[in-house]
């Protein structure tokens, strides 16, 4: 089977801090995978390893058609894998529209353009010429998702996109993620909100102490939700 992302027996960390231990993870084209686990288990470090922001000590990182011996952020984007980082990282002295255009700089050509993003998020068009950081938290998250789409990715890694957002905004984002996935873009959704994972993901990978320790299908039901929550209980 072709994969968009394949991590095999990955060991990675920061300097002497060894965080990921023989971690395995794959995402196939069009798949929606939830990556779950308690705070501090290494979910963001998975993203950082793919981007080259954490050190890969051993194992293989395969992104698109390329095995990356020393992963770099631009390589992932060139292979169609982009990240919506934890904390959103909107550039303060750029307008909403300039933040969107930044997303296109590293990516590929395709159907996602500024007008297409404005159709998905009309509020971003209304605020097009205001500084990105003048937006509310929910609007900034929409901008971060729009910026990622501007790279015309095959796979988007979403690192806790609903952290700190009101339930009504979380519902809007769930709809957006499902719309984006319905157009064929694969998602790796890193989340603490299991009800969101249940609504968006079809498969989950649960992490503990720097490894994927369980995986399975997601059922969007009470039992399915309980299964997911068991993996993030303290
Ligand atoms: N830049 C860093 N330098 C050293 N240790 C880090 C750094 N970033 C994260 N860590 C440590 O790596 C571990 C995993 O963190 P992280 O990947 O952010 O977890 P999660 O995203 O699952 O909450 C934690 O123990 C954290 O303290
Ligand atoms: Mg994190």
pLDDT in 10s for each residue of the chain, 234 residues: 689 999 999 999 999 999 999 999 999 999 999 999 999 999 999 999 999 999 999 999 999 989 998 898 888 988 999 999 998 888 888 999 999 999 998 888 899 999 999 999 999 999 999 999 899 999 999 999 999 999 999 999 999 999 999 999 999 999 999 999 999 999 999 999 999 999 999 999 999 999 999 999 999 888 989 999 998 875
Tell me, yes or no, whether 110 lies in a domain: yes
Tell me, yes or no, whether 62 lies in a domain: no
Tell me, yes or no, whether 9 lies in a domain: no
Give the chain's domain count.
1
Give the range of the structural domain holding residue 116, as residue numbers without chain letter.
33-41+80-230
Tell me, yes or no, whether 64 lies in a domain: no
Say if residues 223 and 230 touch (Cβ distance below 8 Å).
Answer: no
Say if residues 200 and 34 touch (Cβ distance below 8 Å).
Answer: yes
Tell me, yes or no, whether 141 lies in a domain: yes
Question: What spacing in Å lies between the alpha carbon of 198 and ligand 1's midpoint?
Answer: 25
CATH number at residue 192: 3.40.50.300
> What is the residue with the minimal CA distance to atom 5 of ligand 1?
14
Atom number, ligand 1, closest to the C-alpha of residue 41: 22
Say if residues 150 and 112 touch (Cβ distance below 8 Å).
Answer: yes
Say if residues 43 and 35 touch (Cβ distance below 8 Å).
Answer: yes
d(CA 111, CA 130): 25
Say if residues 207 and 42 touch (Cβ distance below 8 Å).
Answer: yes
Tell me, yes or no, whether 18 lies in a domain: no
pTM of the complete model: 0.95
Tell me, yes or no, whether 143 lies in a domain: yes
């Amino acid at each position: 089977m072709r994969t968009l992302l394949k991590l095999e027996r990955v060991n990675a960390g920061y300097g002497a801090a060894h965080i990921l231990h023989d971690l395995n993870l794959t995402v196939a084209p069009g798949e929606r995978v939830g990556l779950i686990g308690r705070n501090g288990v290494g979910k963001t470090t998975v993203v950082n390893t793919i981007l080259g922001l954490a050190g890969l000590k051993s194992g293989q990182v395969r992104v698109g058609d390329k095995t990356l011996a020393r992963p770099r952020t631009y390589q992932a984007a060139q292979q169609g894998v982009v990240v919506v980082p934890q904390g959103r990282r909107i550039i303060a002295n750029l307008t909403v529209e300039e933040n969107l255009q930044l997303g296109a700089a590293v990516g590929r050509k395709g159907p996602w353009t500024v007008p297409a993003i404005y159709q998905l998020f009309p509020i971003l068009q209304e605020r097009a010429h205001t500084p990105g950081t003048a937006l509310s938290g929910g609007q900034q998250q929409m901008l971060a998702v729009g910026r990622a789409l501007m790279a015309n990715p095959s796979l988007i890694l979403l690192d806790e996109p609903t952290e700190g957002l009101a339930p009504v905004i979380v519902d809007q984002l769930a709809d957006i993620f499902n719309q984006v996935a319905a157009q064929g873009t694969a998602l790796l959704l890193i989340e603490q909100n299991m009800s969101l994972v249940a609504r968006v993901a079809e498969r989950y990978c649960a992490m503990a102490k720097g490894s994927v320790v369980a995986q399975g299908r997601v059922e969007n039901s009470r039992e399915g939700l309980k299964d997911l929550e068991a993996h993030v209980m303290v």
